[in-house]
Amino acid sequence: MMLVIVPAFNEEKALPGTLAELLRLYPRAQVLVVNDGSADGTSAVARRAGVRVVDLPVNMGIGVAMQTGYRFAREHGFSRAVQCDGDGQHPPAQIAVLEETMDRTGSAMVIGSRFVESGKEGFKSLFMRRQVIRFFSRWILLLCGVRVYDVTSGFRLVNEKAIAIFARDYPFDYPEPEAIVLLSRHGLAVAEAPVAMRERQGGVSSIGFFSGIYYVVKVSIGLLVTRLRSMR
Amino acid sequence: MTVTLQSVAFIFSLLFLAAIFELVRRRRLKESYALSWFFVGGCVLVLSLLGERLEVVARLFGFAQLSNAILVFTVFLLLVLLLGLSVAVSTLSGMVQTMAQDIGLLRNRREAKDKDGADAP
């Protein structure tokens, strides 16, 4: 069974469209919205769509929201979980591509990537953002010998082993790149699949201009620390 | 160090220690955190009692001025205290994270249960 985890913070505008598409395309999967303490009608909108909702009592950030989804997946015995943003950036139709890649490669995590092969047609991010992603990508390659291009993509499919790890230990602030290092430290393989992403349908990016520098420093150190941490 | 300064420091450190003790007594401050503050109060008390001898110690470490020695010492002491507080805050935020997740997951579970109950005849 597959669980689609949709983390949502003040996402009432774009959420209904994403959820409708998910339910239509994957009737056998279960959809879980993790409402990260939204101030708007995110929770109500999700409930109206008929999906399960976990409301966090306060805004805890994307990492904690995602981990809530993984804990749910673990508690309910799901064998696969997809991370799919509620803002419409991640086209639900492309989940099939992630699944196909996981079936083929047997990787513990498949990342929907904007930078491999045919992924190029879809929405690509701004120049500076791309440079930062390239830097993180090289840093991860240096730290653990894993080649991932779109390290910040939050569009991911993980298997049971990765669910178990993430339910116990998931990075919080800007978790995507660190999660790759975490899995690789547990000896699990990470693969990439080309997907066409769209521009967000509503809401704003979580990273502003000035917090960009903080972001780069924080993630670079975070990656190093995750690499050096003992994995029990 | 003048006698005036010495007595001011002495009285201040006594009041400081009394304030900490009172906070602990009223349960406004946990013993575990109070300990480090007692240490700070104790340090100030000892320094105030040392008086003239303090200057000899400062010379020994190569400080030209006693005030410099005290300043450096204070900065290090505060750094250690602040680091301790950051560690405490990190522990707390980790706890809050787990608890927020627990609340969300439990509510969801109860909701699902309520729904099942309503569906049954």
The CATH number of residue A166's host domain is 3.90.550.10
Cβ of B105 and A72 within 8 Å?
yes
Residue A64 distance to chain B (closest CA, Å): 7
Using alpha carbons, select from A147, A144, A153 the residue that is nearest to residue A186. A144
Number of structural domains found in chain A: 1
Q: How far is B109 from chain A (nearest CA, A)?
A: 9
Using CA coordinates, name the residue in chain A closest to B115: A52
What is the per-residue pLDDT for A119? 45
Q: Do A52 and B112 touch (CB under 8 A)?
A: yes
What are A5's two structure tokens? 């985890």
Q: Which residues of B touch A172 (CB under 8 A)?
A: 97
In sequence order, what are the beta bridge partners of A8?
A35
Distance of alpha carbon A54 from alpha carbon B110, whole angstroms: 11
Distances in whole angstroms, Cα of residue B103 to Cα of each of A9, A86, B60, B99, B109: 17, 22, 58, 6, 10
ipTM of the complex: 0.80
Residue of A nearest to B107 (CA): A54
| pLDDT, chain B, mean | 87
CB contact under 8 A, B101 and A56: yes
Domain housing A214 = 2-228
- State how far the Cα of A162 lies from the Cα of A207, in Å rounded to an integer: 26
| Alpha helices for B1-121 (secondary structure H) | 3-25, 31-50, 52-60, 66-119
If one counts every other C-beta atom within 10 angstroms of the C-beta of residue A55, the result is 21
Q: Which residues of A touch B108 (CB under 8 A)?
A: 52-55, 72
| Residue that has been written with the tokens 């924080």 in this structure | A218
B:85-114 residues touching chain A, CB 8 A cutoff = 96-97, 100-101, 103-105, 107-108, 112
Q: Which residues of chain B have pLDDT under 50?
A: 121
Q: Which ranges of chain A have pLDDT less than 50? A: 117-121
Residue A224's pLDDT is what? 93
Buried b vs exposed e over B30-68: b needs ≥16 C-beta within 10 Å? eeebbeebbebbeebbebbeeeeebeeebeeeebeebee
pLDDT of residue B101: 95
Q: What's the confidence (pLDDT) of residue B118?
A: 65
Test B97 with A172 for CB contact under 8 angstroms: yes
Q: What is the pLDDT of residue A118?
A: 46
Residues of B whose CB is below 8 A from A55: 104, 107-108
